[in-house]
Amino acid sequence: MKEWSEATIRKFRQKLLAWYDREGRDLPWRQDHDPYHVWVSEVMLQQTQVNTVIPYYERFMATFPTVADLARADEATLLKAWQGLGYYSRARNLQRAAQQIVTDYQGVWPPTAATLADLVGIGPYTSCAIASIAFGQAVPAVDGNAFRVFSRLLLIDADIAKPKTRQLFEEIIQPIVDPDRPGAFNQAIMDLGSSYMTAKNSDPAHSPVKDFDASYQLGKVEDFPVKTKAPRPKLIDYYALIIHSPAGYLLVQRTEREMLTGYWTFPFVTKASLQSAEAGDEATLAQDIESLENLFASDYQLPLSLTMVGGRLVSHTYTHQRWQVKLLEANLPTTPGLPFYPGKWVPAGEITDLPLPKVQEKVMARYQKQVDSQAFSGN
């Protein structure tokens, strides 16, 4: 690992911040240093690209202008505002932390990284980002950009997939952070990591800090950061049941025991949960359909005649799971009651009023495409 002298650190700060002042991104959450704005933007930016986040951020702020508005929001409004961003626990943690700020802190934000970390859902990176940008605390905000930038600048070969590596980077970067402009420093590193020092197709030759980039000088940019590969997401086969009656489509709200808690979907059933799954992967579609029809008839008093919806499967990947969804359809001539099934009939035109996860939107789009195709062909 390369070490910098105090003189080199001062030159680096000067070069970095001069570039940031000229070319830093003009983003809606950078219009002020309000901790609420910084916080919401940083949480949205976890696992999501900046260009994707901007319209979500603007709508979220229009819906919840203050932390108190967010604290008292009803769940449906919250989830609808977050719909499409994924990683839905982030939205719930935002609200829980907002409620802490209003109730436990009387609406006054804790001003340091250590105290911010006591709020629900705020980890080491987010606490340092808020503390530095909103409150001027000289702490490093170590995210993927910081890992990449500083591993290349200083030839740090520690595996960033290991939790303990974060502390190492924090210790190395801490004395480099500009004590007078820590927020601008951290945001400059973010911008550097998303422009000249990206994960792929980086442009170190034109970087404003190329003179400080040891990996560029040695021709080893692609060797950093060091990161062991994560295991592949587990493949899970699902059936999505598109059940239609004169009253609309059957939808169910996902429970706290499931992923996507609080969001609405068609009934989703895993292949592994069916009796026919005892035959393993050899269980035929016909056997699975029979098991599903028996399940809904016996447990929910809903007699169904399911048929396969043509077209490709719907695939959706989460961090640890990849869902592969086959679509089945049942049209009921009359609308049965639902005394034993925890769902409701929703008219087609009202489905999108509910908070829907991305996988549900994909299923609906696939189904609509098949319906349109059949209508066009005259089938």
Which residues does the annotation mark as catalytic?
42
CB–CB of 93/71 below 8 Å?
no
The DSSP bridge pattern shows strands 321-331 and 234-245 to be parallel
Task: State the Cα–Cα distance between residues 226 and 3, nearest whole angstrom.
Answer: 18
- Least Cα distance to 266 among 304, 320, 317, 294 occurs for 304
Give 365-372 contacts, CB < 8 A, sequence gap 24+.
366/309, 366/311, 366/312, 366/314, 366/327, 367/242, 367/309, 367/327, 367/329, 369/311, 370/309, 370/310, 370/311, 370/327
The span from the CA of 150 to the CA of 193, in Å, is 10
Question: b/e string for 155-173 if b means 16 or more Cβ within 10 A?
Answer: bbebebeeeebbeebbebb
> CB–CB of 138/173 below 8 Å?
no
Nearest to 132 by CA among 189, 184, 191: 184
Helices first, then strands: H and E counts in the chain: 14, 8
**Omega before 267 cis (within 30°)?**
no
- Reduce the DSSP state of residue 330 to 3 states and report it: strand
Candidates 125, 114, 122, 121; CA nearest to 147 is: 125
User: Which two tokens mark 350?
Assistant: 């009202």
Round to whole Å and give the CA distance between 231 and 217.
33
Amino acid at 281: D
Q: What are phi and psi of 236, to 5 degrees?
A: -125, 125
Indicate the DSSP class of residue 8: H
Taking alpha carbons only, the member of 49, 48, 57 closest to residue 30 is 57
